[in-house]
Amino acid sequence: MKTFRFAVAFAIFSAVAGHAQDSSSAVSLTANPVYQQNCAKCHGKTAEGRHFGGPSLVSEKTTAATAADLRAMISNGKGRMPKYSSKLTPEEIDKLVEQIQASAKDK
């Protein structure tokens, strides 16, 4: 009986801990490894843009863009930005879009 209770308690703890990680990652663009590996070199480690690099991803203009527009820019590129449709999965692109839009709520 003790083993069963321990197993149930462990399962509940694991589910809660996993949910907490998912929630925090939903609002942390700059903590996303995909962002760090693919976006930070141009948009900066804080996503505030870089001189002679990519624009801010946390500006009002960017965060006000529709999800479809952001998804299209990431997938197909725009201006000097390369396309990432062949480098990132649709899920990774969707996560970046979600995190960019969520950064407006953090301000």
Inter-residue contact 66 to 35 (CB < 8 Å): no
Question: Rounded distance, CA 104 to CA 59, Å?
Answer: 8
Nearest to 56 by CA among 64, 65, 46, 66: 46
Task: For residue 77, give the CATH number of its domain.
Answer: 1.10.760.10
Q: Quote the pLDDT of residue 104.
A: 77
Domain count, the chain: 1
pTM exceeds 0.85, yes or no: no
- Interhelix angle for 90-105 vs 2-26, to 10°? 70
Q: Quote the pLDDT of residue 1.
A: 54
- Domain around 54: 2-105
Where is pLDDT greater, at 50 or 13?
50
Q: Quote the pLDDT of residue 103.
A: 86
